Amino acid sequence: MAYPSPAIQSRLPDVGTTIFTTMSALAAEHQAVNLGQGFPDFHCDPALTQAVSEAMAQGHNQYPPMAGAAPLREAVAAKIASLYGHRYDAASEITVTAGATQALLTAILAVVQPGDEVIVLDPSYDSYVPAVRMAGAVPVRVALTAGSFRPDFDRIAAAITPRTRLLIINSPHNPSGTVWTQSEMLTLQELLAPTNVLLLSDEVYEHMVYDGLRHESVSRYPQLAARSFVVSSFGKTFHVTGWKVGTVAAPAALMAEFRKIHQFNVFTVNTPMQIGLARYLQDPAPYLGLPAFYQAKRDFFRAGLADTRLKLLECRGTYFQTVDYSAISDLPEAEFCQWLTREIGVAAIPTSAFYGDGFNQCTVRFCFAKQEQTLRTALERLRRL
């Protein structure tokens, strides 16, 4: 006899399976080239897996400290200081997390109270708004400039109220590949200076910035750093998304609140990978070489797309290329992605999935963090459009 489960009131009643899972499943069903979900299809550096294996063999298999293994926190603090000129205290201002998504949720839960407002810039990564809602807060969506995906500071300023607790920013930006400029960061600093608004800066693509541009980390700007959680991801940086290891840096007072939440939702992160990553970080060459590595992939992919009817939008960072398909179809973005997967054999992600209102502008996102042969196969199929 089957017994029914008691009814519950969902915290996220309108949330279903993410578009990334849906499109990946559709890609597998139709044997399409999956340029939808953002993960590499190539291996990481063997030296990194060797470092983890050695850590296991040497007995680093029990709990590390709650905030993360000290050697890794020290390595992260040294990296940030070297790249951005801001010295975080490894003991009190760096925490290792179970991926960037956990870092984002934990930061939000740490500082946002029920009824607070949190400004989210659309299009935005799909975990931001559900995390805000789980904290009992009110997400306030502010659109980036259509087409260029740049911050509209007049709109942001107009959205700030006495109830605004947090602003979430993301540069390099997923899904558009836009990179914030020094001028924009200074404008943000000036805008927030007279307020008590905190900042959550999603910088998981910090090492994927092209064309000689500089990543403008919040950590470069002391007035912003003083009010900010800065999130990064080893999974994105070192091609190991399945490891789910990230970091967050913040002033000690903010980090103390972050760790109160962190210790009760994951407590800590697997030890051997932390030790392996700490050792691997001693050589900066792998992450310093990422801009050239991914720019070559971007340029190869863009050159191939230029032979199609898809219109290329600017990509100055991340490993995503956004295109305009309006010359090909007037289908809504989600329907176009399904058609593209079924009929052309290439999976993409609709940018409308990153907007609260499903804003349709005939653009889709491709991931070019793939082997050259994967990209070549996708381009051959896209030329049929």
Q: What CATH number corresponds to the domain at position 81?
A: 3.40.640.10
Same domain, 110 and 259: yes
For residue 29, the one-letter residue type is: E
Q: Specify the pLDDT at position 106.
A: 98
> How far is 88 from 78, CA to CA, in rounded Å?
8
126: in domain: yes
Domain range spanning residue 206?
Answer: 46-282
CA 48, 318, 335 angle in degrees (round to 5)? 120
Q: Specify the pLDDT at position 116.
A: 98
Q: Specify the pLDDT at position 235.
A: 96
Same domain, 83 and 216: yes
In this structure, what token pair is assigned to residue 381?
């199929």
* DSSP annotation of 93: H
In this structure, what token pair is assigned to residue 196?
């008590």
Residue 166 exposed, middle or buried by CB count within 10 Å (0-12, 13-18, 19+): buried
CA nearest 35: which of 359, 384, 344? 344
pLDDT in tens, the chain (385 residues): 788 899 989 888 888 778 888 889 999 999 999 999 888 999 999 999 999 999 999 999 999 999 999 999 999 999 999 999 999 999 999 999 999 999 999 999 999 999 999 999 999 999 999 999 999 999 999 999 988 999 999 999 999 999 999 999 999 999 999 999 999 999 999 999 999 999 999 999 999 999 999 999 999 999 999 999 999 999 999 999 999 999 999 999 999 999 999 999 999 999 999 999 999 999 999 999 999 999 999 999 999 999 999 999 999 999 999 999 999 999 999 999 999 999 999 999 999 999 988 889 999 999 999 999 999 999 999 999 9
CA nearest 301: which of 239, 197, 380? 380
Same domain, 189 and 217: yes
> How far is 123 from 145, CA to CA, in rounded Å?
10
CA 125, 126, 127 angle in degrees (round to 5)? 100
12: in domain: no
**How does 364-374 read in b/e, with b if 16+ C-beta sit within 10 Å?**
bbbbbbbeeeb
Q: Specify the pLDDT at position 358.
A: 83
Same domain, 240 and 318: no
Q: Specify the pLDDT at position 364.
A: 97
Same domain, 58 and 184: yes
131: in domain: yes
Same domain, 278 and 321: no
> How far is 181 from 366, CA to CA, in rounded Å?
24
Give the count of domains, the chain. Answer: 2
Read off the pTM: 0.96
384 Cβ contact list (under 8 Å, min separation 6): 344
33: in domain: yes
DSSP annotation string for 347-363: E-EEGGGGSTT----SE
In this structure, what token pair is assigned to residue 354?
């990153």
Size of the chain, expressed as the number of residues it contains: 385
167: in domain: yes
CA nearest 290: which of 356, 239, 217? 239
Same domain, 69 and 204: yes
7: in domain: no
- Are 316 and 179 a contacting pair, CB within 8 Å? yes
Q: Specify the pLDDT at position 249.
A: 98
